[in-house]
């Protein structure tokens, strides 16, 4: 199972599943990250937190813990 945390800078990946629950899952979905959406990895901080992404034309920052909840194809 690969997660968004495993994606490399410059990759465009497709979300296959969000495995978080409750408030974590709601926070991720409120950002527009849902099953089937394309996510472009723009930048990853030296220690891996945060991960800067582009989703649906919006530039966002994700915490490493949240990125681990997003499964990718």
Q: What is the pLDDT of residues 15-44, one digit of tens each?
A: 999 998 899 899 999 999 999 999 999 999
Strand ranges in 22-63 using DSSP code E only, listed in sequence order: 38-44, 51-55, 58-62
Helices (H), the chain: 22-30, 64-67
Report the distance separating Cα 35 and Cα 10, nearest Å.
Answer: 20
Report the distance separating Cα 37 and Cα 32, nearest Å.
Answer: 8
In order of start, what are the domains of the chain with their CATH numbers?
Answer: 4-72 (2.30.30.90)
Report the distance separating Cα 55 and Cα 18, nearest Å.
Answer: 15
Token pair 């974590």 in the structure block, residue: 24
49 pLDDT tier (thresholds 50, 70, 90): confident
Read off the pTM.
0.87
């Amino acid at each position: 199972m690969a997660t968004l945390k495993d994606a490399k800078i410059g990759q465009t990946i497709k979300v296959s599943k969000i495995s978080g629950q409750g408030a974590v899952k709601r926070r991720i979905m409120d950002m527009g990250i849902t099953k089937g959406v394309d996510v472009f990895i723009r930048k990853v901080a030296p220690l891996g937190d945060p991960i800067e992404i582009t989703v649906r034309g919006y530039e966002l920052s994700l915490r490493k813990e949240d990125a681990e909840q997003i499964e990718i194809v």
